[in-house]
Chains A and B, each alone.
Chain A
Amino acid sequence: MSKKYQILPSEIKQLQEEAVRRATESVGGPVGLYEEWPDEEPTLIVTEDTGKHGRGFCRAIWEDKYGKDSCLLDHHTRAHALSQEPTSQPISECWLGVHNAFCRLKENSSTITLLGGAFHARELKNEAFEKLNKYIQSMPSEQQERLTILWNEIPDFDETHVINVTIKQLELVGLWYSFMITELSRFRYEESQVSHDLLIFIQSLIGNIETLAIELKRSQNIGKKWDARFEEILRQCEAYSGYLGTRLGNLGNPEFVYYPLRSIIYDSVELHKSKAKKKGIDLFVDLEKILNDNGRTQIPEIRMAKDYLSRAFHNILDNAIKYSYSGTAEHPRRVDIIGKYLVKQSNPGYIIKVSNYGIGIDEDELEKVFEPGYQGRLRAGEMRPGFGVGLSFVKECVQLHDGTISIESHRLSDGHAWLTTLNIWLPLHGPNVIAEATEG
């Protein structure tokens, strides 16, 4: 299966940004990574934080918006040109006469061009200065002097150094990037294979169970107890496979439709019931009904990207149970899921509060729990399981719906457990309602 189809666009972007960061550190100047996939617009990732690693001259140019924009456009144009027509000349000159090295890698389906490293090719320096001269002509003399000094501070390299050092550094980064893409796509493929195999196993279970139930029914009367048992097994399998389906990598572009919120929440509860039961935790759900347009009171339908919100609630309940203390006869434990109608800034919505009693979160960690990869500080004797990805996805999903999310955590009076509550507010009519109304 194609590498590209296996990896999330956000993961590719992260790898590209890391590659650019590494290249910038190695070669000491802004670097652009230019990638072209068949049938897609090429992407350019360029050093944003040139202040940290770039040359003083490049930093000075980027102070000015026109200068920065011109640099980015120049990078893009040259990288695109270099990716189209291979050349034996490894040096490219920027719009201000600074020289860059470049290398080009062809990886199965994509072409990667790396362009960067700010230096002067000795042999071309005098001619290159003319470009700077032209740019600074209309500037005050003080500024002209400053930029000229900075320009001259850029190191001179001969062609041998460019080929043996700068380009090698870029090539190393290019090889690292392409290795990471290969490894990640292999991992994702295997991960999706495992999930696919599990789904097929579950399909086999569901097929066999239902067929058995129907064959038994047709051949003899089976009691309501067995009927209910079969039905429960089938529902558990379906809930688990729904969860598995939403874990299969890319969710695709979100499509917003009106869907009953109760289904999202109750499906998630169903899935996590047995896990909660093993820890002695009750899952308590109380969702407020509201009056709908037909004059009936019901738990509302919300305009949502169903697969995204479904995964978000799986993550929320997963976390809530994971970080909850186990229930005992002395300290029974609950995870509460409470939903209420709430209008925010004239926008009708629904707030869902998920609370647990457990490890808790220190005040200075509260916002960090939404950061990708954040796993939390260890307290003495406490363990934080997991990989720190659940709540960052939940936050992204809520923001996708133009909702809000916050978290509170405080120690209870018993001195041991903490009550932690995740508050999610979602607009009933989904994102961009005002924009759509205006356009309509």
Chain B
Amino acid sequence: MTKIAWIEDDYDEISSLVRLLELDGYVIPRYRTRQDVEKSIEEIVSCDGLILDIILPPIEEGDPHQGISILKMLREKYNYNKPVVVCTVVRAPAVIDKLRKLGVLNGNILHKPVRPSILASTVKKALGQE
């Protein structure tokens, strides 16, 4: 059973995004905020991969992209090296550059709205299952 953690504050509204993965037998635990992530960090780290949104609550002055801080924390504190697929509305080159510096591959950065089939194939490819 493959488990992919999904960090996304709008997961209720866009649950269909991961439906194809679920139909194919993937288990997708979900986390909405930074606090949720911090409470469940061990569970997230133990998953086989991560789908990550960038703009997450709390939206703080000076740090609107909590997703990037979370990834940085995972890399630095937990030595996290599992596949990461970022799925975000943000297109600003400076932000995308930060993701690349945190080891997210170009092909694993998807911009919403994205088709579920594309997310599914990107995740599977990142896991080496396609």
Contacts and interface: CB of A to CB of B under 8 A. Distances in A.
B120 to A, nearest CB: 10
Nearest to B17: A207
B92 A238 contact: no
A248 to B, nearest CB: 8
On chain B, which size bracket covers the interface?
Answer: 20 to 34
B89 A199 contact: yes
A1 to B, nearest CB: 5
Interface in A230-279: 234, 237-238, 241, 245, 248, 250, 252-253, 255
A73 interface: no
B93 A201 contact: no
A203 B93 contact: no
Interface in A374-399: none
B23 A215 contact: yes
A207 B14 contact: yes
B61 interface: yes
Interface in A177-216: 196, 199-208, 210-211, 214-215
A433 B14 CA distance: 44
A250 B92 contact: yes
A200 B14 contact: yes
Contacts of A137: none
B17 A203 contact: yes
Interface residues of A, number: 33
B62 interface: yes
A156 interface: no
B87 to A, nearest CB: 9
Contacts of B10: 200, 203
Contacts of A345: none
Contact of A206 (B15, B64, B115): B115
B16 A204 contact: yes
Contacts of B93: 252-253, 255
A253 B17 CA distance: 30
Contacts of B55: 196
B113 interface: yes
B20 A2 contact: no
Interface in B14-29: 14-17, 19-20, 23
B100 interface: no
B2 interface: no
Contacts of A214: 20, 116-117
A252 B92 contact: yes
Interface string B37-70: 0000000000000000001000101101000000
B16 A207 contact: yes
B114 interface: yes
Contacts of A200: 10, 13-14, 112
B3 to A, nearest CB: 20
A1 B17 contact: no
A164 interface: no
Contacts of B20: 211, 214
A198 B61 CA distance: 23
A145 to B, nearest CB: 56
Given A2-B61, A5-B64, A237-B113, A203 B14 contact: yes
Given A241-B113, A245-B89, A252 B94 contact: yes
B91 A307 contact: yes
Nearest to A238: B113
A202 B113 contact: yes
A1 B63 CA distance: 8
Contacts of B62: 2, 38, 109
A108 interface: yes
Nearest to A108: B61
Nearest to B92: A252
A215 to B, nearest CB: 7
B89 A196 contact: yes
Contacts of B19: 207, 211
Nearest to A206: B113
A307 B59 CA distance: 26
A203 B17 CA distance: 8
Nearest to B89: A199
A215 B20 CA distance: 9
A109 B61 contact: yes
A129 B15 CA distance: 75
Contacts of B14: 200, 203-204, 207
Nearest to B91: A245
Contacts of B15: 207
Interface of A: 1-3, 5, 38, 108-109, 196, 199-208, 210-211, 214-215, 234, 237-238, 241, 245, 248, 250, 252-253, 255, 307
Which A-B residue pairs are the 9 nearest by beta carbons? A207-B16, A203-B113, A252-B92, A2-B61, A211-B19, A207-B17, A208-B16, A206-B113, A203-B14
22 contacts: A1-B59, A2-B62, A108-B61, A196-B55, A196-B89, A199-B112, A200-B13, A200-B14, A200-B112, A202-B113, A204-B13, A204-B16, A206-B113, A206-B115, A207-B14, A210-B115, A210-B116, A210-B117, A211-B116, A234-B115, A241-B112, A241-B113
